Structure 1
Amino acid sequence: MWRSSFIYIQGVKPRTKFIIGGVLVIGTAGYLAASAIRDTGVYYLTPGELSAKTKADPTFYNTGVKVGARVVNGSIVRDPGGREVAFRMTDGAQTYDVVYRGITPDTFTDGVDVVVEGRLGRDNTFRATTLLAKCASRYENAPEKYKNTPGYKKAEQKVVSS
């Protein structure tokens, strides 16, 4: 015989049913939160550290990671008519080819520091899903000790005249 409640267990008090239901809801929410954090939590490495990780543990290939490095000068190749860009990144010790499909930041140029998020394939090509370019040093204020140098004055004149 069914009553108005969803679960009818003979001899169980309504308060106990409420506690059991609450534990189930909180447990489900906790599981979903933990799995979401695990999926979005990625490592932040340099190319040298990434190389060491993949040598020590070959299963580390195709694992989501963040890598911070510098774009190698002259290595940027843009797909004509598309949004794909290929370039090389390095930390001085290790260099990787990177392929990224998406809109690149305005500050993405040769020699800029980047943070890429994605997966390193067994072919040692990093397939990035996110590309962040750090602001170039030209946007930062120069330290006072450099303001009287000939190079700083020359650069300052270029900026003023353009």
Structure 2
Amino acid sequence: MRTNRLRTVHPVLWAGWAAVAAGAVLCVVGWYGVSGERFAERQLPYLASCTIPGVALIVSGAVLLAHGRGSIAAARVEELYGLLVTAEPADGDETGRAALAPLAVSGELLMVPGGTLWHRADCPLVAGRAEAVAVDSGLVASGELSPCPICEPAEETG
């Protein structure tokens, strides 16, 4: 199953390859023309009309190829996320969410100095980190720290 965005990226890749190919042809024609002329004043028209535009096409084709590949990767990530979100629960739960055990259940709250999130002590993002310290309730109350989206700590547990 491919998304519409993934289908619209392929013309960008084709345009990139076409630009690179046309640029290479122009560079070869320019080189051939320059190599047949002895004097510099007769070589300049080949440089101006073939080689410089050929290099510009190669660079623009490379940019299109890089953009197209990045867009393909982004479209695939979106497609995988969509499949993950719409996946059927294993036990046929009515709510659409699988009955999974909570990732972290500890009541102790920790934070990493300089961080923007507060976590449960057994959250995988802070578990075993020596620099993790207990959460200051003033920071939580002021809104400077946000709850971790992984372990989803509740304010009442602190």
Indicate whether the TM-score tops 0.5.
no
Higher helix share: 2
Higher strand share: 1
Larger radius of gyration: 2
TM-score, normalised by the number of residues in structure 2: 0.31
TM-score, normalised by the number of residues in structure 1: 0.30
Name which structure has the greater RCO, CA cutoff 8 Å, separation 6+.
2
